[in-house]
Amino acid sequence: APYLGDSEKDVANSDAARGTSSSPDSVPQPDEEEPSKKNRKKLFFILGGVAALAVVAAAVAVPVAITQTKKSSSGSSSSSSSSSPNTGTGNNDHPTSSGPTGAVTGGDGSVITTEKGTTFTYVNKFGGTWYDDPNDPWNNNAQAQSFTPPLSQEWDYQNDPMRGVNLGGWLVPEPFIVPSLYEPYMNATPRAQDEWTLSLAMAADTANGGLNQLETHYDTFITEEDFAQIAGAGLNWIRLPIPFWMVAKLPEEPYLERVSWKYALKAFKWARKYGLRIQLDLHSIPGSQNGFDHSGKGGVGGQVNFLVGPMGLANAQRTLDVIRVITEFISQPEYTAVVPMFGIINEAQATRIGDDQITSFFAEVHDMIRGITGTGAGKGPWIALHDAFRGLSAYNDFLPGHDRIALDTHPYLMFGAPDRSPLASQVNKPCTQWASGMNSSWNNFGFTLAGEFSLGVNDCGRWING
């Protein structure tokens, strides 16, 4: 199987995270025995009350009420110890982003020196502390805020408020989030409207760097300072959309293979440093799970070739392989505290795939993941399942006795008839339109979250609808 390695600690020193890299610590490696592997948006969740909060990277956070979990077998996630053993194959001499005096921890007002040599002041009025010791790279003592458990403590999903943000547009560049990447190729043939066509256009544009333009985007769109600001804004979770070609792709697929893995490792490192937890989310699926641009190949009139279509079953198997490889990596004890949740497929479209097909696939993924991790708190990540646009109530009786499944829904106000009422009346809509369904799902299914949402009331932004 493709091997993701077991360390982010030296990736800051490495620019070799390419498909040809020989470093297992930096990038996934393909398995020659498996020829099949030769080969929206970004507003996360808050659980707790109802409020809007604008933050870094196109984010808004709104709480939703929490009630008692019924069906999940465990209500908390075990963190790795504050200093997990190093089982990686790399060395420990990665550059630290500590203060100029060599400090390995600090709070509000401390000065951070990044791996690139730049500095910024850590601003956190909520009692948060960062921690980064090159001699103890797996230390989980960082705490995003005084009211958030440090990574060294278990997260209580029934009582700890989850306040989060999506890093949309970073490792899965979507046209409406990063239009500047797509605008130069509006007249290309084919016109850039998803990452497939964007990759084709960029690869042909050698004068401007070819596909390396994407790595420039990865390197600059989100930086360490953004993670520090997320903690400073009072948020404690990040939802990180990732593409399947982060692990492997087929030769005929034009994507920039595996390079984004280098930046996922940076995300894990920075999250550990600032006490943030990550929900990893597999946004792009072989064949496309919905025909939308964020699936990798979609846009206007996009086709679905996952579980249905001429390569539907083959692409479903490829997806299982990707999920397996990622699960094996993030279930290592060094990462369980930093990545305690894994969204396996973003917004599969059940109306085009079939209800039975998608729920059967979800059940198979659950069994595969728990076959890898074992069952019970601390044994691998929570599994987040998007409702596939079926509605939360469709899952009331899904997979009784499951082990740590979270049901994910993406409520939006903008995709429907425009509402021109004053903003003051709009802000109550999460309570009047979403709260009842969320509370019912908590009672009837179990842990339910809004992995994406927005208080935007119209879809007037460029390319929001593709």
Confidence (pLDDT) at 300:
56
Mean pLDDT of 72-93: 38
∠ Cα 352 286 216 (to 5°): 125
In the structure, what pLDDT confidence band is assigned to residue 25 with cuts at 50, 70 and 90?
A: very low
Where on the phi/psi map is residue 17: left (φ > 0), alpha (ψ -120 to 50), or beta?
A: beta
Contact present, 42 and 327 (Cβ < 8 Å): no
Query: pLDDT at residue 322 above 60?
Result: yes
Between 157 and 295, whose confidence is greater? 157
φ, ψ of residue 342 to 5 degrees: the values are -130, 110
Instruction: Report the C-alpha gap between 188 and 87 in whole angstroms.
Output: 47
Mean pLDDT of 77-84: 40
Least confident stretch, 88-92, 248-252, 299-303, 309-313? 88-92
In the structure, what pLDDT confidence band is assigned to residue 4 with cuts at 50, 70 and 90?
A: low
Confidence (pLDDT) at 83:
36
pTM of the model: 0.82
In the structure, what pLDDT confidence band is assigned to residue 98 with cuts at 50, 70 and 90?
A: low
Confidence (pLDDT) at 253:
96
Query: pLDDT at residue 418 above 80?
Result: no
Between 95 and 409, whose confidence is greater? 409
Mean pLDDT of the chain: 81
- Residue-wise pLDDT for 342-368, tens only, equals 999 999 999 999 999 999 999 999 999
In the structure, what pLDDT confidence band is assigned to residue 97 with cuts at 50, 70 and 90?
A: very low
Between 430 and 128, whose confidence is greater? 128
Query: pLDDT at residue 290 above 60?
Result: yes
Q: For the chain, state the CA radius of gyration.
A: 21
Confidence (pLDDT) at 79:
44
- Residue-wise pLDDT for 102-154, tens only, equals 799 999 999 999 999 999 999 999 999 999 999 999 999 999 999 999 999 99
Mean pLDDT of 386-400: 92
List, in sequence order, every residue forming a beta bridge with 254; answer none if it has no partner: none
Confidence (pLDDT) at 100:
52
Tokens of 459: 């879809």
The 10 Å CB-count burial string (b at 16+, else e) for 104-115 is bbbeeebebbbe
Query: pLDDT at residue 38 above 80?
Result: no
List, in sequence order, every residue forming a beta bridge with 243; answer none if it has no partner: 284
Instruction: Report the C-alpha gap between 257 and 17 in whole angstroms.
Output: 9
In the structure, what pLDDT confidence band is assigned to residue 181 with cuts at 50, 70 and 90?
A: very high
Catalytic one of 224, 225, 257, 347: 347
115 is catalytic: no
32 is catalytic: no
Confidence (pLDDT) at 128:
98
- The share of the chain scoring above pLDDT 70, in percent, equals 77
Alpha helices in 153-258 (DSSP H): 179-182, 195-204, 212-221, 224-232
In the structure, what pLDDT confidence band is assigned to residue 298 with cuts at 50, 70 and 90?
A: confident
Catalytic one of 224, 257, 328, 452: 452
Write the DSSP assignment of 277-317 as a string of letters. Answer: EEEEEEEE-TT-SSS-GGGSS-STT----SSSSTTHHHHHH
Identify each DSSP E strand in 402-455 by its residue range. 405-409, 448-450
Tokens of 105: 């921890």
Between 407 and 23, whose confidence is greater? 407
Per-residue CA distances from 302 to 186, 290, 297, 299 (Å): 17, 8, 7, 5
